[in-house]
């Protein structure tokens, strides 16, 4: 995993330096590249190889859309191929089974969500990020995307589908690790915090927002209540960071 | 307008005129099986045959009570929401109004989320987002669940809490945090420890002075924002 370059011991070198977020984003983009399965199929060279990688991205993007729109059960390789406008043959060449397709999609979604999140965080000023806790709003916005919807479909399906569960849980954990590693790059104010505290702040924010999303539509009328919950989270993470 | 303390959702186990009393029990049994099936096997495997065989009924017997899949789905949505309210009310009515009220309420709320009714609820909530037909039944039921939970708080919470401007925030916070946590169970490493830490945190946040401080700051921040928007 490319993220190794910044692993534990060497993390400090990057912290707080200008360009730290770019480093994190770069790490994630590298990771996204790894998601695409090895394209060293015999006979493929040059542009063809590039085209092949492009096709996979097209297929993965189409899978995300299908998952968000039709749910896990309805998302067949046939449906994905149709909506990506790619022949069944080409589809099978890249992903022979639904399991293969879904396995790649899990990585793809996880890294894409992470990349989108960090990209938006990098646009915040220090004051917005550290003092006002705007990271909470940024995370909330990533939850309202079809990427999250697709992720949720996979997460819910993996509760009852044993084969999917094995893959999903393994990847979700690896992703959690990567997240913890990258956090100090993106949120330098957390760099000297013990990992339990970083995890606690993260768990508080993600669990609450995901729970909010589970009940989201009822909140559309009482939008103020949902906003108060998010304002609270922004205050609470500051408190966790200050160590009380 | 006075808010009704009655749940405004049809009772899918109710016996219609002319039926035998036994039917109500049968319907309850079938819907319980449907709920468990939803929790264990998911919406995609939600079939009359599979559900009936869980409780040793024939598919035909099930279809006598719920003539088609749509009728069965509607009934199970009502059943699940009613069950959640039932559990919640039962827990609340057993709590004594002392200084431990908040803490114990959190514990009860967490236990309640381990029930099949919550797993079935998660399944329905997620599927409803990509399924129009389900959404039409699920959304109103969810609104009613929310309204009823608020009513129950007014019936059972101690006066001091009810007068607090942060009441809704406390309720929402505990509810969403716990539901988010319960939904992700089994997905992360060191889960027990992390869950314990976060449960400790939420207890402190809603029951201590320091917590009260940020609760009211958040409410103020929110109303200040709304003021700004009004202008």
Q: Which segment of A56-70, A122-136, B211-225 scores lowest on mean pLDDT? A: B211-225
Q: Does B212 touch chain A (CB under 8 A)?
A: no
Pairs of CB atoms within 8 A across A/B: 148
Q: Which of A137, A176, A211, A216 to mutate to test the interface with B (most CBs of B within 10 A)?
A: A211
Mean pLDDT of A201-211: 93
Per CB-CB distance under 8 Å, the chain B contacts of A152 are 126, 129
Sign of CA dihedral A243, A3, A147, B140: negative
Q: What is the pLDDT of residue B152?
A: 93
Rg (CA), chain B: 20
Burial pattern A7-17, b for ≥16 Cβ within 10 A else e, equals eeeeeeebbee
Residue with tokens 């009860």: B108
Output the pLDDT for position A81: 96
Tell the residue number behind the tokens 């929790």, with chain if given. Answer: B39
**Is residue A6 scored above 50 in pLDDT?**
no
Sign of CA dihedral A201, A235, A211, A24: negative
Residues 32 through 61 of chain B touching chain A, CB cutoff 8 Å: 40-45
- Tell me: ipTM over 0.85: yes
Percent helix, strand, coil in chain B, to 5, is 75, 0, 25
pLDDT over threshold 50, residue B81: yes
pLDDT at residue A204 in the model: 94
Please state the pTM of the whole predicted model: 0.84
How close, in Å, is residue A47 to chain B by CA atoms? 38
Say if residue A181's pLDDT is above 80: yes
DSSP string, A156-200: HHHHH-HHHHHHHHHHHHHHHHHHHHHHHHH-GGGTTS-HHHHHH
pLDDT value of position A37: 45
């Amino acid at each position: 995993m490319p993220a190794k370059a910044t692993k534990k011991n060497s993390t400090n070198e990057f912290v707080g330096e200008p360009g730290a977020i770019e480093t994190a984003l770069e790490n994630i983009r590298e990771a996204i590249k790894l998601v695409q399965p090895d394209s060293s199929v015999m006979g493929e060279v040059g542009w063809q190889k590039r085209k092949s990688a492009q096709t996979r991205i097209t297929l993965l993007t189409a899978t995300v859309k299908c998952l968000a729109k039709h749910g896990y059960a309805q998302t067949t390789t046939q449906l994905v191929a149709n909506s990506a406008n790619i022949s069944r043959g080409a589809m099978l060449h890249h992903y022979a089974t639904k399991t293969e397709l879904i396995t790649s999609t899990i990585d793809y979604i996880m890294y894409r969500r992470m990349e989108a999140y960090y990209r938006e965080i990098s646009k915040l000023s220090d004051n917005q990020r550290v003092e006002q806790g705007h990271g909470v709003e940024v995370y909330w916005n990533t939850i309202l995307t079809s990427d999250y919807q697709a992720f949720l479909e996979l997460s819910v399906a993996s509760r009852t589908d044993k084969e999917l569960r094995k893959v999903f849980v393994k990847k979700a954990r690896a992703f959690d690790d990567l997240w913890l590693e990258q956090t100090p790059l993106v949120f330098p104010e957390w760099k000297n915090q013990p990992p339990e505290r970083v995890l606690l702040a993260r768990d508080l924010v993600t669990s609450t927002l995901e729970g909010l999303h589970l009940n989201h539509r009822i909140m559309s009328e009482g939008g103020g209540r949902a906003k108060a919950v998010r304002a609270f989270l922004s205050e609470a993470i500051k408190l966790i960071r200050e160590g009380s | 307008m006075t808010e009704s303390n009655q749940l405004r959702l049809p009772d899918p186990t109710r016996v219609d005129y002319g039926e035998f009393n036994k039917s109500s029990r049968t319907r309850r049994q079938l819907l319980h099986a449907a709920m468990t099936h939803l929790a264990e096997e998911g919406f995609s495997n939600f079939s009359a045959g599979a559900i009936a065989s869980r409780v040793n009924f024939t598919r035909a017997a099930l279809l006598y009570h719920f003539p088609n899949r749509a009728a069965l789905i509607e009934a199970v949505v009502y059943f699940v929401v009613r069950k959640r309210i039932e559990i919640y009310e039962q827990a609340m009515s057993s709590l004594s109004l002392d200084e431990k009220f908040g803490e114990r309420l959190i514990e009860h709320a967490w236990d309640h989320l381990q029930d099949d009714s919550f797993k079935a609820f998660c399944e329905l909530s997620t599927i409803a987002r990509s399924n129009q037909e389900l959404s039409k039944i699920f959304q109103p039921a969810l609104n009613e669940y929310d309204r009823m939970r608020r009513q129950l708080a007014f019936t059972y919470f101690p006066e001091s809490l009810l007068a607090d401007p942060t009441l809704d925030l406390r309720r929402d916070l505990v509810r969403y945090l716990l539901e988010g946590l319960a939904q992700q169970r089994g997905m992360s490493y060191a889960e027990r420890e992390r869950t314990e830490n976060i449960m400790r945190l939420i207890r402190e946040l809603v029951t201590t002075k320091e917590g009260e401080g940020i609760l009211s700051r958040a409410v103020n921040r929110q109303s200040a924002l709304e003021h700004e928007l009004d202008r």
